[in-house]
Structure 1
Amino acid sequence: MFSFRKKHASRFDSDDIEQQEAKIQELRAALGPLSSSGKKYCTEACLRRYLEARNWNVDKSRKMLEESLKWRTAYRPEDIRWPEISVESETGKMYRASFVDREGRTVVIMRPAKQNTSSHEGQVRFLVYTLENAILSLPEDQEKMVWLIDFTGWTLANATPIKTARECANILQNHYPERLAIGILFNPPKVFEAFWKVVKHFLDPKSIQKVNFVYLKNEESMKILHKYIDPEVLPVEFGGKNNVVYSHEEYSKLMVKDDIKMASFWASDTKTDHVNKVINEHSVPEVTQQSSLVAAKAS
């Protein structure tokens, strides 16, 4: 009698650090040569996020990341500046909070009832600008942000057009994977349920699992909010003790300063890419530039 033992391919353990590192290196090799800005974007933390988004499948992660690099080259999210989209923020419908969550992560506050424009492109670029700014503000040891969405006063008249909602969902999921830690939908009205059923079709299961419905008059649901954000820093309208109020004038000053930080962060890479393009036209190998210590924030 002969005994045949079936060979099994080694299974990937997502909790095994060594296996994770091997996948990250495999993905980096699969990407091939990158531009200077591409190198800055594709940090280890960035590669890890794309791998997590595709269940550590290197080929799928590579395709996803390559699409993001193409999108960033065409859309230039890092070049959007406050004066271009400031009108979108006049009512305080979306902004980076002055406080952070219990883990030090950036909190983005959204108030859809304060919608003040009808420009599809303007609203999409405003979202991208806010995301880039929130990422730039993350501590070096953090990769994700918290969304706090206040539905006070919201009606279907304030609902984002399906076309805009679809594009925003596409950008969020395909080009900012694993950036959302938790999403708090605060006091959504009954009528929102119908809109949510439509929007859910644009979201992946992972994103849906991160969304929590919280109601001010429901103590149990408020515990979810307090788990992530200390009531001492939470604004009064969210049931906290912080009397902070959005000021468009003050926020604008902050964003102008952040625009300088953003420009400074990417400027050297823009110059290097231009120089490398000229050099490559003369068949000289590309010059490699050291990545910045804050590169993980941009990716």
Structure 2
Amino acid sequence: MPPNIPKDPLSGHPGHLSPEQQHILSKFRTELEEDSVFVPERHDDATLLRFLRARKFDLAKAKFMITSCEEWRKDFGVDQLIETFQFPEKNEVDKIYPQYYHKTDKDGRPIYVERLGQLDLRKLYTFTTAERLLKRFVLEYEKFLTERLPACSTVVGHRVETSCTILDLQNVGIAQFYQVKDHIAQATRIGQDRYPECMGKFYIINAPWIFSTVWMVIKPWLDEVTVNKISILGYNYKDTLLQQIPAENLPADLGGLCQCPGGCSLSDAGPWNEKNQGVIAQTASDAVVPA
């Protein structure tokens, strides 16, 4: 490519395919159909392209990845989970292990917050189980793809395909991390292998001095593309977050202005919620970023 022609930041995304990428996409779909792996209601072009981008448009590797994903969905019972799973212990879990979607960032991405500082695993498992936490995690990923992203895309007027994640490590010690590391490892593998290319921005905040030890454990779980999207921040994270997230969309206890009645972690505020459809990001109209 000539040096005076900038690379398309959305290359490999719908509407931004080179002739070669378009050919690989068509061949990918055909081969999946021939092998009875293709699921029309789920495998639209945007989904197939997520798997192709995750494997740098290597057709064989992308095919192996999506085939493995379909086998996992059957083994895990994802379709049944969507239809039947309930999580009545949500309020109790929230007091110890808050994990929630809340409004959107300046590029229209849904914001996902996870806070480990209050986690007491022994207490947590008095009213839920590791298996149920993982099922809830998968269900939230499904809702992220089928409800949250489409709603965000409609509001901002362009396709939104990824999240803006905040992982809060305030008050997290080594012992606390090792209590939950198996769950985090399972969740990380599911996110990377079964729901690829869904991470847009990832901020680790309040990272304590011992985080270098924790990072040595976490980093091998992640692929190179994921690692490059992660910003590790200490305690002075507020300005960095506010560059990406409108103050009115960021919870007050994370440095923003939002104070949802009943708490942001239980509000499910955002354009995907009928009660909060007016809650949207203040997007920069001249920004062109991979969504």
Q: TM-score range by the shorter chain?
A: 0.7 to 0.9
Q: Deviations over 1:273-293 (max 9, x none)?
A: xxxxxxxxxxxxxxxxxxxxx
| 2:198 equivalent in structure 1 | 179
Q: 1:250 to 1:203 in 2, by over 3 A?
A: closer
Q: Which of 61, 83, 87 is the equivalent residue of 1:83?
A: 87
Q: Which residue of 2 aligns with 1:94?
A: 99
Output the CA distance in 2 between the equivalents of 1:252 and 1:230. 17
Find the counterpart in structure 2 of residue 156 from structure 1: 174
Query: Aligned runs of 1:10-49 on 2, under 5 Å?
Result: 16-33=17-34, 38-49=39-50
Residues 222/250 of structure 1: CA separation in 2 closer, same or farther (3 Å cut): closer
> What is the alpha-carbon distance in structure 2 between the residues aligned to residue 245 and residue 154 of structure 1?
27
Partner of 1:138: 149
Counterpart position of 1:165: 184
> In the alignment, which residue of structure 2 is the partner of 1:225?
241
Kindly indicate whether the alpha-carbon contact (under 8 Å) linking 2:260 and 2:267 is maintained by their aligned counterparts in 1: no
Deviates more, 1:63-72 or 1:231-240: 231-240
2:75 is equivalent to residue 59 of structure 1: no
8 Å contact from structure 1 (residues 148, 185) kept in 2: yes
| Change in 2 beyond 3 A, CA 1:176/1:199 | same
Structure-1-length-normalised TM-score: 0.70
SS of structure 2 residue aligned to 1:39: coil
Q: Secondary structure at the match of 2:39?
A: helix
- Measured after TM superposition, the shift of residue 252 of structure 1 is 8.6
Q: Please give the alpha-carbon distance, in whole angstroms, between the structure 2 residues aligned to 1:193 and 1:127.
A: 26
In structure 2, the partner of 1:212 is 231
The answer on 1:127 being equivalent to 2:137 is yes
Other structure's SS at 1:29 match: helix
State which structure, 1 or 2, has the greater radius of gyration over its C-alpha atoms.
1
Aligned-pair CA distance for 1:42: 0.9
Q: Return the alpha-carbon distance in structure 2 between the equivalents of residues 100 and 248 of structure 1.
A: 13
Q: Which amino acid aligns with 2:98?
A: K
Cα deviation, 1:95-129, whole Å, max 9, x if unaligned, reads 111x1111211111111123252433233223222
In the alignment, the residues of structure 2 paired with residue 251 and residue 233 of structure 1 have an alpha-carbon distance, to the nearest angstrom, of 12
Q: Distance in 1 between matches of 2:99 and 2:63?
A: 32
CA apart distance, 1:200: 0.6
Residues 140-186 of structure 1, C-alpha deviations (whole Å, 9 max, x = no match): 42111111112222222331544323222211111010001011111
What residue identity is the alignment partner of 1:153?
N
Q: CA 1:37/1:56 → structure 2, altered by over 3 Å: closer, same or farther?
A: closer
Of residues 100-109 and 164-173 in structure 1, the stretch that sits farther from structure 2 once superposed is 164-173
Using structure 2 for the length normalisation, give the TM-score: 0.72
Distance 1:169 1:148 in 2: 14
Give the RMSD, CA atoms, in angstroms: 3.0
CA distance in 2: counterparts of 1:249 and 1:111, whole angstroms: 10
Aligned to 1:114, the other structure's residue is in SS state coil
Structure 2 residue identity aligned to 1:93: P
Q: Distance in 2 between matches of 1:110 and 1:125?
A: 16
> In the aligned structure 1, how far is the partner of 2:38 from the partner of 2:261?
37
**In the TM superposition, what is the alpha-carbon distance from 1:233 to its structure 2 partner?**
1.9
Note if contact 2:94-2:265 (Cα within 8 Å) is conserved in structure 1.
no
The answer (yes or no) to whether the contact 2:105–2:246 under 8 Å persists in 1 is yes
Structure 1 portions without partners, runs of 5+? 1-12, 259-299
Aligned counterparts of 2:17 and 2:132: Cα–Cα separation in 1: 43
* Number of the residue aligned with 1:235: 251
Count, aligned residues: 240
Alpha-carbon distance in 2 for matches of 1:148, 1:181 = 11
Match of 1:294 in 2: none
Shift of 1:204: 0.5
